[in-house]
Chain A
Amino acid sequence: MTPVDLQELTAMALEEIARADSLERLDEVRLRYLGRRDGLVTLAGQRLRELAPEQRAAFGQEFNRASGQLRSALETRQRQLAAGEEEQREDGEWVDMSHPFRSPEQGHSHPVAGLIREIEDIFAFLGYQSVAGPELEDDQHNFQLLNMPPEHPARDSHDTFYLSPPAGGWLYRTHTSPVQMRAMLASPPPLRIIVPGKVARRDNPDPTHTPVFHQVEGLCVDRGVTLGDLKGTLEYVIRALFGRERRVRLRASFFPYTEPSLEADVACAVCQGAGCRTCLQKGWIEILGSGMVHPAVLRNGGVDPETHSGFAFGMGPDRIAVLRYGLSDLRDLYENDLRLLECF
């Protein structure tokens, strides 16, 4: 065995490595040449001892170079073959990645319920607690304590559902305002609450009415609360709901339980204030009623109007949802049609 023989052997081995087309074959090649016991190159190395001392150095050098070359060739080829086999395995597990798979597992929010949660979050940021009250009320809390004695003209707009005997003393609240009374009677000021909930008025269902709908009432009572505070609060909340750019205006109004009373309008989103069918040519859409709590109402709630003042407001999330999401019929909000719910 001469260095030349060794070179020939190495060349043969390299060729076989290149020809091996699977990891299995490659391993056979490795064993044939570099097998620990009877690999051809391994055996050639063992002949070193048989050589004359002056030949040993050259042969040894050649042997180290040859076996190094083979090992690195085996490694390279092995990586190539392994990668190829992984590719083949993956190809066998093909998935149509263009398929628009959708998670069937996620449920959707109701537009009004979701909007109420959003309103709660906005007010939580301003320090308001969300509280609830009963939906069935007595005349006292729904009307009288709120400065609406029997026969008061303002009751006209609160066409009320009354219960039949024996529960004849109860009515379905026409607004969430009675919860103002309950909150004031339950704890002394300062008070910052909002009250989302269902109310009912005797309106036949049509595109702009449902006999049951939602309101979100708000009440802030403290020392020195001003109409400016009401205005700043409403402007913040309305911008949070309708966007920074939306114009808001406050208009004088009348409610028996507030004085002064105001209504808030937002510019119509459809015509930007120019006047269109959606806003009935007004350019503005009314979204809430509000005002400074009437001194008589404060007194009825056990709050001294000489030391404390407050503001209150009531908004209609159903209407706001219709405006915000471009719906055309309020009744759609109570059909629970999945095609609508899936938008939220």
Chain B
Amino acid sequence: MRVSHEWLGEMVELEGVEPAQVAELLTLSGTEVEKVTAYGLGLDRVLVGEVVGLRRVEGSDHLFLANVAVPGQEPREVICGADNLFLGALVPWARPGTRLPIGLEIGRKRLRGIWSEGMLCAPDELGLGSDHDGVLILSPDDAEAGMPLDRLYPADHLYELEVLSNRADCLSHWGVARELAALLSRPLRDPETSRPTRSASGPALRVNVASSTDCPVYLAEVLTGIRNVPAPAFVRRRLAAIGQRSLGGIVDLANYVMFEIGQPLHTFDLNRLPAPEQELEVGVRRGRHGESISCLDGVRRELDPETLVITVGDAPQAVAGLIGGEASAVGADTAQVLLEAANFNWARLRSTSRRLRLRTEASGRFERQLSPHLARVGADRFIHLAVRHLGATLGPRAEGGAPLTPAAAIRCDPRRISAILGMELSPVAVAGPLRRLQFEVREEGAEMLVTPSPYRTDVATAVDLAEEVGRIIGYQEVPGTLPPLRQAPPLEALAEPVARLTSTTCRAAGFSEAVSLSLVSSERDGLAPRLIGDLAHLELANPLSAQLGSLRQGLLQGLLQSAHHNQARGQDRVCLFEQGAAFWARGQERPEEPWMLALLDLADDTAEDGAARLRHLMALIASLSSAGGGGAVEFRPVAWPALHRARAAEVWAGSQLRGIVGEVARPVADAFDVRGRVEVAELRLDGWLKPGGRPGQAPPLPRTPALVLDLSVTVPIRALLGPGLQAIRALGLPELELVTPIDEYLGDQLGPGVKGWTLRLRLRHPERTLTTSEGDAARQAILRVLEREVGARAR
């Protein structure tokens, strides 16, 4: 919302307060000032001139030559491109040598052989808004030739406010002035609302509100003898300053009151309402199916039982709180007005506004829970202005709704407010800011009975009062402290989280950390290798797009996409990992959110290099499991969707399947537009790795020397090492400390269909040195097991 410094200054003394200071005070106390702009600055150098001669410039189809006069001087010739000039028009005239507020330097200029003496200005050229439709035409009621323009447009500053959603009271100059009065400790001057005597003339009036929940207050006032002449200059100027177009005196005054007091008003032309001569029955009820209303914006809107309507003689005349009807709109000939000052249920208006896709200044205020107490003030203010400036006489009135309940008093202990804010405040220091906010404070012993201003709908409890005191004193005054740590944090907090251990381990192994959106296209996600098998995706009911329409079931589709992104930018090796939740549907039940780790290693290289990178990935998985207390892992070759049929394995730890690892199948890599070989893994970490990682357990260090032997065998080309090693371990040789594969050899001299393995055996006896023959015996035993299990031959 835009508010004017000059307008505020009418309600609170702003003498000696700079706009920047106003902006800071408002911002820190909750009403953020997003922008301060100067308005009508430096207009003392622009004079009001009268157009005393006007003709087209010869040879031009759009230029006019105006003779502009001020008293006591010869008329001067000014060339002008606007076509809204007429003889006798009063216009702003910037003479040569003037510097306009927007920075324009005005000189004497020669155009088409004529010397033009300055410029006739449009509003935007004067820094009076953005209107550039023509030269600003001044009303002879306000202006006279020779007058400096700042008499009409005093220097002002405009504040662009971001009002908090619970502060409907601040959607008006009066409300903002109330804040400033409290912040500056200056008195608040309420707008004038003298109440004239009521004449008996006019129709009998009744208001019938169907539900006071829908409409707590409805005030109807008849004003007769009104003339829809232009509103007074100060009204038009202030409305123009905050960006409102002038729409005739009656509507301008209603708008003026809305921006000043905060109460939206509606004016019906009484003579255009059905049967104005007899009794006028104004109703507030829900709409009916099949009803519709043609609105002020020219749009016909269907009504329904969710929509609140204003009726006269049961015929809809307005969508309550949102927009008026076209039929009863005020026009130039309006002579009698039915004024509405009402309050409508905020939730109802919100849903109606959303359903009709229409938001107006009025609905925006009602939606935020405007105080019902404002209706009376708004009506009185309009009546005051209309009687004074539009010649209106006050006629009959009626009201509907429920009786207004006065704001409830809040009992509070000032020590409680000190305790919430964490600063020592005396009862006087607590009461001061509250009183300055127009709250009523009564002291009752050590306690206080505080009645908030009736215009505030957001203050109901002692903590609300603490906020009021805090923000008016200013949070910069609150001393910063730390809460005492009276009890030690839980010991579990000391354990290194799995996510952190995982990140450290993966980065140390050369993988960079990726983070992707959790929203995916289910089609793409379904293409990528995933630990979860066939499962329907969780879909969003209201997605932004199909690309972001589903929740990811795995993390590899994100990494494949990032791999493509990086490869397309010239990276020939991409090593990424990502951790995060995946989402697995369980019908109506809470979906499962496994904590996943995905790894990806992409390079454009040979099959052999790919295999080496795959092994590096598997080594990383094994060391991660070991570091995270997940135990020994076993890789079981398997055929897995979207993975290379001869390069895929399940990752098992103990008796649990924990993940998959392998090379992405060529067609899948193609689908993600990735060249080269992509080695990937996806693992579920929750329930496997433990916070704090592996518990430290160190067995006594052996004192005896180890016997290290190598065993070379030949095996069939597709023999699996994993089961072979498992069989060796199952043998349970007490002296066998470690068995490590050190070489895999594929060569012609071994013959077709055969490959060589070399295993390094480390044997040790806890008490004595092993003999060579004991070593040979162990080697023989192992060889026999390998012969049996994988068809090995000694080499």
* Chain A residues in 8 Å Cβ range of B369: 153
30 residue pairs A–B, Cβ–Cβ below 8 Å: A105-B509, A113-B513, A113-B515, A126-B482, A127-B489, A134-B590, A134-B593, A136-B583, A153-B166, A153-B367, A200-B518, A204-B544, A226-B422, A227-B466, A236-B482, A252-B30, A252-B467, A253-B164, A259-B463, A259-B464, A260-B470, A261-B467, A262-B475, A309-B419, A333-B515, A336-B559, A337-B562, A338-B512, A341-B512, A342-B512
Instruction: Give the CA-CA distance A107 to B493 in the complex, in Å.
Output: 27
Minimum CB distance partner of B511 in chain A: A107
A327-338 interface bits toward B, Cβ cutoff 8 Å, 1 = contact, 0 = none:
000000111111
* Chain A residues in 8 Å Cβ range of B548: 211
Minimum CB distance partner of B548 in chain A: A211
Contact A109 B565 (CB under 8 A): no
Instruction: Give the CA-CA distance A337 to B569 in the complex, in Å.
Output: 9
Contact B423 A282 (CB under 8 A): no
Contact A136 B565 (CB under 8 A): no
* Chain A residues in 8 Å Cβ range of B551: 136, 163, 172
Contact B569 A339 (CB under 8 A): yes
Partner of A202, one of B544, B558, B574: B544
Distance from B658 Cβ to chain A, minimum over Cβ atoms (Å)? 20
Partner of A294, one of B463, B514, B573: B463
Contact B510 A105 (CB under 8 A): yes
B505-531 interface bits toward A, Cβ cutoff 8 Å, 1 = contact, 0 = none:
011111111111111000000000000
> B703 on the interface (CB 8 Å rule)?
no
Distance from A324 Cβ to chain B, minimum over Cβ atoms (Å)? 16
Instruction: Give the CA-CA distance A126 to B470 in the complex, in Å.
Output: 25
Contact B419 A281 (CB under 8 A): no
Distance from B420 Cβ to chain A, minimum over Cβ atoms (Å)? 6
* Chain B residues in 8 Å Cβ range of A92: none
Contact A341 B513 (CB under 8 A): yes
Contact A233 B544 (CB under 8 A): no
Instruction: Give the CA-CA distance A107 to B518 in the complex, in Å.
Output: 23
Interface residues in B572-595 by Cβ distance below 8 A to A read: 573-578, 580-581, 583, 585, 587-588, 590-591, 593
Instruction: Give the CA-CA distance A316 to B485 in the complex, in Å.
Output: 26
> B541 on the interface (CB 8 Å rule)?
yes
A-B pairs with the 6 shortest C-beta distances? A228-B422, A226-B422, A260-B467, A232-B480, A252-B30, A129-B493
Contact B513 A109 (CB under 8 A): yes
> B194 on the interface (CB 8 Å rule)?
no
B143-175 interface bits toward A, Cβ cutoff 8 Å, 1 = contact, 0 = none:
000000000000000000000111100000000
> B190 on the interface (CB 8 Å rule)?
no
Interface residues in B342-363 by Cβ distance below 8 A to A read: 346-347, 350-351
* Chain B residues in 8 Å Cβ range of A204: 544
* Chain A residues in 8 Å Cβ range of B463: 259-260, 292, 294-295
Distance from B230 Cβ to chain A, minimum over Cβ atoms (Å)? 36
Instruction: Give the CA-CA distance A252 to B471 in the complex, in Å.
Output: 6
> B35 on the interface (CB 8 Å rule)?
yes
Contact A336 B566 (CB under 8 A): yes
Distance from A173 Cβ to chain B, minimum over Cβ atoms (Å)? 11
Contact A198-B513, Cβ < 8 Å, known A106-B507, A107-B575, A126-B482: no
Contact A167-B562, Cβ < 8 Å, known A107-B509, A200-B519, A292-B463: no
Minimum CB distance partner of B583 in chain A: A136
Instruction: Give the CA-CA distance A177 to B202 in the complex, in Å.
Output: 58
Distance from B53 Cβ to chain A, minimum over Cβ atoms (Å)? 45
Partner of A198, one of B367, B420, B422, B580: B580
* Chain A residues in 8 Å Cβ range of B481: 226, 228-229, 231-232
Partner of B475, one of A135, A167, A250: A250
Q: Which B residues are within 8 Å of any A CB, using their own CB?
A: 27-30, 32, 34-35, 164-167, 346-347, 350-351, 367-369, 419-423, 458, 461, 463-464, 466-467, 470-471, 475-476, 478-483, 485-490, 492-493, 497, 500, 503, 506-519, 538-544, 548, 551, 558-559, 562, 565-566, 569, 571, 573-578, 580-581, 583, 585, 587-588, 590-591, 593
Binds B, one of A17-25, A70-78, A217-225: A217-225
Instruction: Give the CA-CA distance A342 to B519 in the complex, in Å.
Output: 25
* Chain B residues in 8 Å Cβ range of A319: none
Contact B466 A198 (CB under 8 A): no
Instruction: Give the CA-CA distance A127 to B486 in the complex, in Å.
Output: 11
Instruction: Give the CA-CA distance A200 to B578 in the complex, in Å.
Output: 18
Contact B487 A161 (CB under 8 A): no
Contact A337-B566, Cβ < 8 Å, known A229-B483, A259-B467: yes
Contact A334 B350 (CB under 8 A): no
Distance from B548 Cβ to chain A, minimum over Cβ atoms (Å)? 6
Partner of A211, one of B27, B544, B593: B544
Contact B503 A231 (CB under 8 A): no
Contact B482 A229 (CB under 8 A): yes
Contact A282 B34 (CB under 8 A): yes
> A67 on the interface (CB 8 Å rule)?
no
Taking A164-B541, A172-B551, A335-B565 as known contacts, 16 extra A-B pairs with beta carbons closer than 8 A to each other, sorted by chain A number, are A105-B509, A107-B506, A109-B512, A135-B593, A151-B350, A161-B542, A163-B551, A164-B540, A166-B587, A172-B518, A224-B419, A231-B475, A250-B475, A254-B164, A262-B475, A336-B576
Instruction: Give the CA-CA distance A67 to B519 in the complex, in Å.
Output: 90
* Chain A residues in 8 Å Cβ range of B466: 227, 259-260, 292
Contact A336-B569, Cβ < 8 Å, known A252-B470, A292-B420: no
Interface residues in A290-311 by Cβ distance below 8 A to B read: 292, 294-295, 309
> A130 on the interface (CB 8 Å rule)?
yes
* Chain A residues in 8 Å Cβ range of B166: 153, 254
Distance from B552 Cβ to chain A, minimum over Cβ atoms (Å)? 10
Distance from B554 Cβ to chain A, minimum over Cβ atoms (Å)? 15
Contact B478 A231 (CB under 8 A): yes
Minimum CB distance partner of B461 in chain A: A295
Contact B515 A190 (CB under 8 A): no
* Chain A residues in 8 Å Cβ range of B590: 134, 136, 170
Contact B518 A135 (CB under 8 A): yes
Interface residues in A240-284 by Cβ distance below 8 A to B read: 249-254, 259-262, 280-282
* Chain B residues in 8 Å Cβ range of A220: 483
Contact B28 A231 (CB under 8 A): no
Partner of B478, one of A126, A228, A295: A228
Contact B519 A211 (CB under 8 A): yes
Contact A280 B34 (CB under 8 A): yes
Contact A338 B566 (CB under 8 A): yes
